[in-house]
Amino acid sequence: MTFSLNERTAIMKTKILIPLAAGVASLMVGCSTPSTTLAPVGPNPNRVQTASALGQLEVFSALTGRSEGDNPSWYQHSRYLVYNRLGKRLESVGNTVGYYAEMPRLISLPPGDYLVKAQAKGHWWVEVPVKIERGRTTRVHLDAAWQMPPGTSKSELVSIPAGYPIGWRAGLTD
């Protein structure tokens, strides 16, 4: 069976273009997967308020392995972004306090509502609304390592879809 030039061109287009288009479409869908949005996280309601006019934010984002030459590997919390209520990016936080330190960086912010975009253990990126209150520290635990106080009610917590709690529900200190 022989095919004309037009028939061969149509067959080649079908064999190449359809799989290529399917591959590109699957990549586009994968890239546009929405991030996870959670309930607002606020400060620990059991901690004493300080006299500071600012509040603080500490984000325990997913840990990232670091290495240097033949030295042993170490882990640090990954970078995260802070946005205001209108969606304007305010800060990109390099989330380390020292070259080898694992502790995340504590930042100061004026009281208000913000959005943190960070990597969480078991997720690519999550969007966490946070409430910063004067003289209080809001902590977001995205590394799955937070040990909440015994007897804490689940209604007081914000949990990630992977099932672990990431912080105190905002509004408990009002």
Instruction: Write the pLDDT tens digit of every residue in 2-30.
Output: 666 666 565 555 555 555 545 544 444 44
- Per-residue pLDDT, averaged over 51-59, amounts to 93
Residue at token pair 């359809």:
18
Q: What is the pTM of this model?
A: 0.75
Residue at token pair 């009002």:
174
**Residue 3 and residue 73: Cα distance in Å, rounded?**
61
The 3-state secondary structure of 81-119 reads EEECCCCCEEEEECCCCCCCCCCCCEEEECCEEEEEEEC
- β-pairing, 55-60 vs 106-109, is antiparallel
**Residue 23 and residue 29: Cα distance in Å, rounded?**
10
**147 class by beta-carbon count within 10 Å (0-12 exposed, 13-18 middle, 19+ buried):** exposed
**Residue 116 and residue 84: Cα distance in Å, rounded?**
9
pLDDT in tens, 115-162: 999 999 877 889 999 999 999 999 999 999 998 888 889 899 999 888
